[in-house]
Structure formats: C-alpha cells, structure tokens
C-alpha cells in the first residue's frame, strides 16, 4: 500500500541538548511492566551481533523471543568474521578520547550523511558494550598490568579500539551467542536454525509476524508476534564477490521493503582497501585482511608503469624495486594520516594507481602492502605477534610468504552503510518492524569507520532496542494476531508461488552464473566510482539480465528438501531488485560522499566533493510495486554540533 501523499519521514529525534537526548528519551518513552513483558512475543531475524544481543537482552527482560538464522548454528552468523576490533570511547589510554570525540570522528568519517543524535547515542553506549563483553568472558587483549589493551584503527588519531587477536568479531559474537544460549536454555528464546525468513506479514499496518522456510524440510511456516526485529545483515553480496559470507543476503530486509519499509541510501557501500586480490573467474568470495595491517604496513606501487609491467610478468621481484622507484602514494598524498586514511580514501587511491597502469599482481589489480620496514624496525617477532594469523592466512590463500615478499592487496566490497530506514527508536516506517545492525542505515552515514560495525551492532542489540521496543509494545494489546490470519495465508501463498516459479522455469543458466554477471555489472558501474552515464547503462543491463533470470534460470531439485540452489535463487532474485534501486540511488545522488564516489563530482585533486546544499539528506525509497520506479522520500539532516567541512586527511 503506497504511503500518503503528505507522508513525512519522522526520525523522532528527541529534543534537548545532544548529550542529554538519549537519557531524556529513555525517561520519556513508555515502559512495559515487568510482569507484562512475558505477555509479548518478539521475532528476531538473524543471530549476528545485533540479532543475538537483541534476542538475549529482550529475553532477559522477560519478553518471549523467537529467533531465526539460516545457518546451522546461531554462532555462525557473519559477524564472526570481523577481525580488527571494536571502538569504545573509554579513554583508557589517556590520549584525549571522549564520547564527543568518537561521535565527532564517526560523523566526519561518515562524510556528514548520518544523524547526529543516533551517532552520539552510539558513542555513549559504546563504553557499556566493552563492560558487557568483558563480563561475559570475552578475552580481549590485555597489557602486562592486566588492563585492557587498545590500538589505533583506520582513520582514528586516538587508541580506542579493543581487540581479541584478529578475531574480535568472533569473540564478541560468541559472547552474544553465549548470552543467547543461556536464554534458550531458560526457555525464553526459541531458536530456529536453518530456517530462513521469506516474508514479513503486516496486519492493520503493523508488523505481526513472518513466513519462513525450513531449509531442511522445505516446510513453509507462519509465526506471529507482537513485533518483528530484523537483524539480517548487509547486502554486499549483490556484488557477487565481496568479503561477506556466501549466505549473506538482502532477502529479509528486501521483503520488508516490499511490504512498505523504506530503504535508505542503498548506494552507500563500503569498499575495504585491504583484501586479497581476485585470482580467477571461479573466485567465490574475497578475503579481507584486517585493516590493522595498515598500522605497520606501507602501501606502495612502482612510480613507473614499466616497472609494474615487469612485476606483473614476474620478470622482477618486488624486493628488487629500488626505494627511489617506489611510490608510497598514501604517505605522499596524505602526510598526516598516511597509510591510515579512511577506507574509502585508501580504496579509491588503490583503484586510481591501478587505473594508471601501475598496479601489480597477475591481473594488475593489486598494490603492495609492505612490512619490511616494520620488520626491520620492530623485529619479526613483534610483527608476528601482532599479525601472525593474518600473515598465515595470506600465505594459505596466495601461496606467498608476506614476511619475505610484500603482500598484495586490492579493495573489495565489505560493508553496506545503506539499509532499512529507521527512526531514533530503530523502527522502520512499518510500525512494529525494527531493523538493527548492518541491515539498517542509521549510524555510519556514507562511510563507516573501522571497528565501528561491531560497536553499532551490539549497541543496537544490547542497549537500544531493549528500551525502544517497549515504547511500542506498551501500546499493543496482549493478544497477538493469529498465525491463521488471512494475511499469513496470503504471504505463505506468495512464498510458495515464487518458489514454484523458480523451480518450474527449467531454463539453461545456473544461479551462480546469473549472480556472477549481476555482480560484475554492479562492480563495474556501481562500485568504487560511478558516473551518470555508467549508471544509466548499468540500470538497463540489470533490467535485461533480470528479464533473462526470470525466464532462463535452472534450479535443480524440489521445494521440500534441503536445496541449496533454490535457497540461492531466492536470494539472488531479491538482489536483482535491490541492484536496480542501488543504481537509481547512486544516479540520483549528484555528489560524491564517503563510499559513494561520482566521478563528475570531485575536487581538483581528486577528492570526493560533497554537495551539502542539495544532498544533505537521507534518501529513503518507497517500493510501489513490481516493475514500478521507487519513490524518493528525503530526510533532511541537521547538523547542530558538527560543522560540515570538506574531509581532509592531508
């Protein structure tokens, strides 16, 4: 159902001074009496950092929670793969950090396309996350005195990043998973693994349940609840190759979008600068090397194209390139931040030097990340202690030893800042439907800073949703809509029909084949840099490919068994629709900001050129029906505290 003509996005940002908004809001919103919490049921989709922490925290409060994940265990959600760390404004290092500084850095890092109030709250609760994780037994790195250790992380000039080797995401997720497991044992959370949400059900304008498919038996089932929380992650896999897990998908968020939740800033995707370069056509995913490597590694390419060519043909070894012939381009262009410039800047510069023909590696799409200076300075032992597991991983994948020859890296899609539009309470435009973590758009603006994703996922799950959902539930009757309601039947039928359609197509091409082609279009035209012309072309290409996808797809097997190709086909189908919206959004945003770089809009020295006058808003798109153009709604962003400046990392 389309929204009213006079519909206005209401971000529900509390009034009052920035630092007091959240406390005041917590006081102002309605509470659910402890004895009444057990009368409410909440569905949570996803068991990553946001989903697991939300499920556990809500269950601890007394709500009945039903949690779903498509993996075989809640512990395998893709948050587990985050390597580097988690930011928190603890100022344990006495280096001048504060809630305000983290807030400021995040807003600036996001290139002024995020909401001040949300980001400030994120910075405030960041300190609680660390306390919570430590209390759960998360083994963060420590100093000899027994206190927590910190490091500085991409783009930050203070050491505020907490870490657990190169497996911080894993440890934080296992902490949240353990809290979740405790609630499963207590009977407060019913956990459904290998069960994927395929639609959200709305009755009387409120989200009241979901339809899922059991991935083992193929059974389509309805679950009703008083509220639905989506914590289903990002959509980087629209690019086919990304650092996301193979199963990461947009389906839950996209179904919500189709049912009326606005989708915000879909074109804001983050390209991570330090990934292992592509090695061939068969490549199924890209592996990220933690950005912490940039603390000690120096990025360079040869100054001369001829030298690069020799390196590509292996006629020369990287070690043999004389110091004078190397271009440490990040240090040269950004003397004060050097190799630690934000991700978007580092990525774009890598692309630029490769476009100039100075790239290295088999494909010429790689730059060096060199540790020889660090090893000479600190000794191999120190470097090994810091990055040993990353070096091993690199060696395992590429067959080269980074202690002896420089690593090669290239940017890859890593994170999506865009997502479901949510208000200050993390509620989408559909009442009772919430979005947390990467699947919402809220806190990172146009670019996410390193070590902030874990922070946001856990902030949303542990410390925001437990409060804000009460405000909605307190107004809801105890009796929930029955799962036998006509709306569920219709949703189930819709799901079954789309499955049948895919299975009955009997075309020629495999899902992967389509997905690969879609990803290539997106990477080429809607990736690291975009042009109006390219986007126009890409939109048509996606449309054409989608038409073919709907006629010529080949899915083997049946609907009532474990069928991984069917699962994939259902996900790719949604990626097609999303891809088009991303292109439209990128086309519409006639400026460059953060992860969105439009070649037409750059400063004379090639930096992103924002247009605050005309584009200082959140683009929230409304779905109007199959084949119809989506409608743009704008949420203007007001900056009361942070002064908008051209980002400069020089």
Partner 1 sequence: MKFTLKIWRQAGANQSGELKTYEIDNISSDMSFLEMLDVLNENLVQKGEDPVHFDHDCREGICGMCSLYINGRAHGPQRAITTCQLHMRSFNDGDTIVIEPWRAKAFPVVKDLVVDRSAFDRIIQAGGFVSVDTGGVPDANLIPIPKDTASEAMDAATCIGCGACVATCKNASAMLFVSAKVSQLAMLPQGQVERYSRVEKMVAQMDEEGFGSCTNTYACEAECPKEISVTNIARMNAEYLKSKFTSSDSFAGKS
Looking only at residues 421 through 480 of this chain, which bind partner 1 when binding is defined by CB under 8 A? 462-463, 466
For 76, the token pair is 């395998």
Is residue 593 close enough to count as binding partner 1 by CB under 8 A? Answer: no
Smallest distance from partner 1 to CB 233, Å = 12
CB 514 within 8 A of CB 574: no
Looking only at residues 42 through 71 of this chain, which bind partner 1 when binding is defined by CB under 8 A? 53, 56-57, 60, 71
Query: How far from 206 is each of 12, 199, 212, CA to CA, in Å?
Result: 18, 14, 18
Nearer to partner 1 by Cβ, of 245 and 495: the residue is: 245
Nearer to partner 1 by Cβ, of 115 and 165: the residue is: 165
Looking only at residues 481 through 520 of this chain, which bind partner 1 when binding is defined by CB under 8 A? 510, 512-513
Smallest distance from partner 1 to CB 437, Å = 16
Smallest distance from partner 1 to CB 510, Å = 5
Nearer to partner 1 by Cβ, of 283 and 336: the residue is: 283
Alpha carbons within 13 A on the beta-carbon side of 530: 32
Smallest distance from partner 1 to CB 406, Å = 19
Contact range with partner 1 by CB under 8 A, out of 37-45, 99-107, 253-261, 391-399? 391-399
Radius of gyration from C-alpha coordinates of the chain? 24
Nearer to partner 1 by Cβ, of 201 and 412: the residue is: 412
Nearest to 235 by CA among 267, 259, 199: 267
Alpha carbons within 13 A on the beta-carbon side of 198: 32
Smallest distance from partner 1 to CB 495, Å = 21
Please state, in angstroms and rounded to a whole number, the distance separating the CA atoms of residues 434 and 426: 6
Is residue 399 close enough to count as binding partner 1 by CB under 8 A? Answer: yes
Looking only at residues 79 through 98 of this chain, which bind partner 1 when binding is defined by CB under 8 A? 80-81, 90, 92
Is residue 382 close enough to count as binding partner 1 by CB under 8 A? Answer: no
Nearer to partner 1 by Cβ, of 13 and 127: the residue is: 127
Nearer to partner 1 by Cβ, of 10 and 392: the residue is: 392
For 551, the token pair is 């006629």
Q: What share of the chain is helix, strand, coil (3-state, %, to 5)?
A: 40, 15, 40
Smallest distance from partner 1 to CB 320, Å = 24
Please state, in angstroms and rounded to a whole number, the distance separating the CA atoms of residues 323 and 616: 44
Which parts of 77-194 are beta strand (E)?
Answer: 86-87, 161-162, 189-192
Smallest distance from partner 1 to CB 6, Å = 40
From 33, 283, 336, 540, residue interacting with partner 1 (rule: CB under 8 A):
283
Nearer to partner 1 by Cβ, of 88 and 210: the residue is: 88
The yes-or-no answer on residue 509 being catalytic is no
Smallest distance from partner 1 to CB 169, Å = 8
Contact range with partner 1 by CB under 8 A, out of 290-298, 560-568, 598-606, 608-616? 560-568
Buried b (16+ CB within 10 A) or exposed e, 274-304: bbbbbeeeeeebbebbbbbbbbbbbbbbbbe
DSSP letter for 596, please. Answer: B
Neighbours of 51 (CB within 10 A): 32
Q: Which residues contact 376 (CB under 8 A, 6 or more apart)?
A: none
Looking only at residues 230 through 269 of this chain, which bind partner 1 when binding is defined by CB under 8 A? 243, 245-247
Looking only at residues 297 through 356 of this chain, which bind partner 1 when binding is defined by CB under 8 A? none
Contact range with partner 1 by CB under 8 A, out of 95-103, 265-273, 279-287, 631-639? 279-287
For 124, the token pair is 């405030």
Is residue 561 close enough to count as binding partner 1 by CB under 8 A? Answer: yes
Query: Using alpha carbons only, what angle is made at residue 472 by residues 470 and 474, rounded to the nearest 5 degrees?
Result: 65
Smallest distance from partner 1 to CB 322, Å = 30
Alpha carbons within 13 A on the beta-carbon side of 418: 29
Contact range with partner 1 by CB under 8 A, out of 106-114, 366-374, 388-396, 613-621? 388-396
Number of residues forming the site for partner 1 (CB under 8 A): 81
CB 539 within 8 A of CB 587: yes
Smallest distance from partner 1 to CB 563, Å = 8
For 242, the token pair is 């990304």
Nearest to 526 by CA among 439, 618, 597: 597
For 326, the token pair is 């190397």
Smallest distance from partner 1 to CB 46, Å = 13
Nearer to partner 1 by Cβ, of 437 and 466: the residue is: 466
Nearer to partner 1 by Cβ, of 164 and 491: the residue is: 164
Nearer to partner 1 by Cβ, of 57 and 152: the residue is: 57
Please state, in angstroms and rounded to a whole number, the distance separating the CA atoms of residues 312 and 300: 15
Contact range with partner 1 by CB under 8 A, out of 103-111, 336-344, 396-404, 417-425? 396-404
Per-residue binding string, partner 1, 1-30, x by CB under 8 A, is ------------------------------
Is residue 219 close enough to count as binding partner 1 by CB under 8 A? Answer: no
In the set 76, 115, 326, 343, the catalytic residue is 343
Name the maximum alpha-carbon separation found in the chain: 74
Q: Which residues contact 449 (CB under 8 A, 6 or more apart)?
A: 87, 105, 106, 109, 110, 153, 154, 155, 156, 342, 343
Looking only at residues 174 through 203 of this chain, which bind partner 1 when binding is defined by CB under 8 A? 174, 177-179, 181-182, 184-185, 191, 193
Nearest to 469 by CA among 144, 115, 227: 227
Looking only at residues 120 through 179 of this chain, which bind partner 1 when binding is defined by CB under 8 A? 128, 130-148, 164-165, 167, 170-171, 174, 177-179
Nearest to 638 by CA among 267, 107, 262: 107
For 451, the token pair is 């070590």
Nearer to partner 1 by Cβ, of 221 and 285: the residue is: 285
Q: Which residues are catalytic?
A: 343
């Amino acid at each position: 159902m389309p929204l009213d003509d006079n519909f206005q996005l209401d971000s529900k940002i509390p009034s009052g001074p920035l630092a007091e908004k959240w406390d005041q809001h917590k006081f102002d919103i309605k509470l659910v009496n402890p004895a009444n919490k057990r009368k409410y049921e909440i569905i949570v989709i996803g068991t990553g950092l946001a989903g697991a922490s939300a499920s556990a925290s809500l269950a601890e409060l007394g709500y009945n929670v039903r949690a779903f994940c498509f993996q075989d265990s809640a512990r395998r959600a893709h948050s587990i793969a985050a390597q580097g760390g988690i930011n928190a404004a603890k100022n344990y290092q006495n280096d001048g950090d504060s809630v305000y500084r983290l807030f400021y850095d995040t807003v600036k890092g996001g290139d002024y396309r995020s909401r001040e109030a949300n980001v400030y709250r994120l910075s405030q609760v960041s300190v609680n996350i660390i306390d919570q994780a430590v209390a759960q037994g998360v083994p963060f790195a420590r100093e000899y005195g027994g206190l927590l250790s910190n490091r500085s992380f991409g783009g930050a000039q203070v050491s505020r990043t907490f870490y657990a080797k190169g497996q911080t995401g894993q440890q934080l997720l296992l902490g949240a998973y353990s809290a979740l497991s405790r609630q499963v044992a207590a009977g407060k959370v019913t956990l459904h693994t290998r069960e994927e949400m395929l639609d959200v059900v709305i009755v009387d304008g409120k989200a009241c349940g979901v339809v899922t498919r059991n991935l083992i038996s193929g059974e389509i089932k309805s679950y009703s609840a008083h509220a639905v929380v989506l914590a289903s992650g990002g959509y980087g896999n629209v690019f086919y190759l990304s650092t996301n897990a193979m199963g990461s998908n947009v389906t839950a968020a996209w179904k919500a979008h189709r049912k009326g939740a606005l989708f915000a800033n879909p074109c804001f995707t983050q390209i991570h600068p330090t990934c292992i370069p592509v090695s061939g056509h068969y490549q199924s995913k890209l592996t990220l090397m933690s950005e912490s490597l940039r603390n000690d590694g120096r990025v360079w390419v040869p100054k001369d194209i001829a030298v690069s060519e020799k390196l590509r043909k292996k006629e020369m070894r990287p070690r043999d390139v004389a110091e004078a012939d190397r271009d440490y381009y990040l240090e040269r262009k950004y003397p004060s931040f050097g190799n630690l410039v934000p991700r978007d800047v580092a990525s774009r510069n890598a692309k630029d030097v490769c476009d100039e023909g100075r790239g290295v590696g088999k494909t010429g799409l790689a730059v060096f990340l060199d540790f020889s200076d660090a090893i000479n300075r600190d000794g191999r032992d120190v470097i090994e202690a810091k990055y040993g597991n990353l070096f091993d991983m690199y060696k395992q994948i590429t067959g080269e030893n980074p202690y002896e020859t420089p690593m090669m890296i290239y940017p890859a899609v890593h994170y999506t800042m865009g997502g479901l539009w949510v208000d200050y309470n993390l509620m989408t435009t559909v009442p009772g439907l919430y979005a947390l973590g990467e699947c919402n758009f809220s806190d990172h603006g146009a670019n996410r800073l390193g070590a902030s994703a874990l922070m946001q996922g856990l902030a949303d799950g542990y410390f925001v949703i437990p409060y804000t959902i009460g405000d909605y539930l307190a107004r809801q009757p105890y009796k929930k809509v029955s799962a036998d309601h006509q709306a569920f039947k219709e949703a189930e039928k819709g799901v079954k029909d789309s499955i049948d359609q895919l299975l009955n197509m009997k075309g020629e091409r495999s899902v992967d084949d389509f997905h690969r082609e879609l990803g290539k279009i997106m990477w080429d035209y809607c990736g690291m840099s975009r042009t109006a012309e390219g986007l126009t072309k890409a939109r048509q290409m996606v449309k054409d490919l989608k038409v073919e996808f709907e006629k010529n797809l080949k899915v083997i097997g049946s609907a009532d068994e474990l069928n991984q190709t069917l699962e994939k086909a259902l996900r790719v189908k949604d990626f097609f629709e999303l891809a088009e919206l991303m292109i439209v959004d990128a086309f519409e945003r006639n400026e460059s900001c953060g992860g969105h770089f439009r070649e037409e809009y750059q400063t004379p020295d090639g930096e992103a050129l924002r247009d605050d006058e005309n584009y200082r808003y959140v683009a929230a798109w409304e779905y109007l029906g199959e084949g119809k153009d989506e409608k743009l709604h704008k949420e203007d962003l007001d900056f009361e505290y942070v002064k908008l400046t051209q980002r400069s990392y020089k």
